[in-house]
């Protein structure tokens, strides 16, 4: 968190940011958990320590994806979803999509492949799969100079979508970037709600390469233990939710412009953009040229 989010007006120069030695007296653990919540209302909300704070951002949010797990994660709830009930930990979940986590309260099978909740028809009303895919991403918010890392949980419906022009589901977006010698941690990514659906479906779009300040912030974030934590904890766990009781056993049957922080924090100054080295992954056949999608971003303002 930076000083602008605390004070009504910017403070004068010469101040220092001191780490408190009395956080234990503030009624918390001293660990701040941050995530960005997506919703069917097509807004992005900042959640800190389980509480929504600040203003919501409508329809589109620009972020820098600093890390992600190799494979999509999975989660399963035995009970039906109820928006009026406070979020609880899943009955079973898997970070690697291969086997349940050791901390899962009620693992449904030894492996995800043999799990009865991972078959079509096991979902509510006999539709889809009861165990859902998701992607937990660690991101920086473009325009936020604090360097705070947030978790974003991308639902399964936003992972495997066919591309729509220069808009992609996350898995297709990775392949598109890789085909153009880039990766999610080397570009600013626009998260855009799909206006054609009532569900919380996101599209991913390459907006620009990183400027020097953003590239440096990614380097710092990738060394931050918080980043790895956000990849391995469910959203409910990040918010401090408690485990649910284990259910009864069931029979067996995934151009850079001046950056403005959308959540209302301070603005970054324009910097000369730099292309950051991409993470190494297996090459894929290109579907489009990255520079064509980005357009003449060195010369034109983004909408």
Sign of the dihedral defined by the CA atoms of residues 179, 184, 189, 193, in that order:
positive
Which pLDDT score is estimated for 41?
A: 82
Distance CA 222, CA 137 (A): 12
Whole-number Cα distances in Å, 33 to 137, 140, 168, 238: 14, 14, 29, 6
pLDDT tens for each residue of 137-161: 999 999 898 899 999 998 888 898 8
| Residue-averaged pLDDT of the chain | 76
Over residues 231-259, the mean pLDDT reads: 55
Type and span of the H or E element at 150: strand 150-155
Distance CA 217, CA 271 (A): 13
Which residue in this structure is represented by tokens 């589109």? 60
Q: With helix as H, strand as E and coil as C, how does 185-239 read?
A: HHEEEEEEECCCCCCCCEEEEEEEECEHHHHHHHHHHHCCHHHHHHHHCCHHHHC
pLDDT tens for each residue of 42-91: 899 999 888 888 888 889 999 999 999 888 888 888 877 666 666 677 88
Type and span of the H or E element at 155: strand 150-155
More confident residue, 3 or 34: 34
Distance CA 47, CA 40 (A): 16
Which pLDDT score is estimated for 145?
A: 86
What is the reported pTM?
0.70
Over residues 23-39, the mean pLDDT reads: 69
Which pLDDT score is estimated for 205?
A: 95
- Spell out the domain ranges in the chain: 30-294
Please say whether the beta carbons of 143 and 267 come within 8 A: yes
Please say whether the beta carbons of 60 and 192 come within 8 A: yes
Please say whether the beta carbons of 99 and 105 come within 8 A: no
Distance CA 66, CA 258 (A): 20
Instruction: Give 224: exposed, middle or buried? Use CB within 10 Å, 0-12, 13-18, 19+.
Output: middle
Distance CA 156, CA 38 (A): 13
Strands 43-48 and 132-141: unpaired
Comparing CA positions, the residue from 122, 105, 167, 125 lying closest to residue 293 is: 167
DSSP three-state, residue 56:
strand
Please say whether the beta carbons of 206 and 189 come within 8 A: yes
Q: Is residue 276 predicted with pLDDT exceeding 80?
A: no
Please say whether the beta carbons of 168 and 203 come within 8 A: yes
Comparing CA positions, the residue from 252, 248, 63, 219 lying closest to residue 150 is: 63
Please say whether the beta carbons of 212 and 271 come within 8 A: yes
């Amino acid at each position: 968190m930076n000083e602008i989010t605390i004070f009504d007006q910017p403070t004068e120069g010469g101040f220092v940011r001191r780490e408190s030695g009395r956080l234990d007296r503030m009624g918390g653990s001293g660990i701040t958990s941050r995530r960005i919540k997506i919703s069917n209302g097509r807004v992005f909300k900042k959640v800190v320590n389980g509480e929504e704070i600040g203003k919501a951002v409508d329809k589109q949010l620009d972020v820098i994806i600093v890390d992600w797990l190799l494979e999509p994660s999975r989660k399963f709830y035995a009970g039906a979803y109820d928006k009026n009930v406070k979020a609880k930990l899943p009955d079973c979940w898997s970070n690697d999509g291969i086997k349940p986590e050791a901390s899962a309260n009620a693992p449904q099978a030894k492996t995800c492949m043999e799990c009865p909740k991972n078959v079509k028809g096991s979902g509510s009303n006999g539709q889809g799969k009861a165990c859902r895919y998701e992607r937990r991403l660690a991101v920086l918010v473009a325009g936020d100079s604090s360097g705070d890392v947030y978790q974003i949980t991308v639902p399964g419906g936003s992972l495997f979508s066919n591309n729509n022009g220069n808009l992609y589901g996350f898995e297709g977006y990775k392949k598109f970037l890789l085909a153009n010698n880039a990766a999610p941690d080397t570009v600013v990514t626009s998260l855009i709600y799909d206006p054609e659906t009532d569900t919380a479906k996101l599209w991913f779009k390459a907006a620009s390469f990183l400027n020097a300040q953003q590239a440096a912030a990614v380097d710092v974030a990738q060394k931050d233990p918080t980043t790895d934590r956000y990849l391995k904890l469910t959203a409910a766990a990040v918010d401090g939710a408690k485990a649910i009781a284990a259910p009864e056993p069931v029979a067996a049957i995934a151009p850079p412009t001046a950056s403005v922080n959308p959540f209302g924090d301070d603005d970054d100054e324009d910097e000369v953009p730099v292309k950051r080295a991409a993470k190494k992954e297996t090459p894929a056949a290109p579907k489009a040229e990255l520079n064509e999608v980005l357009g003449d971003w060195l010369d034109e303002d983004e909408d």
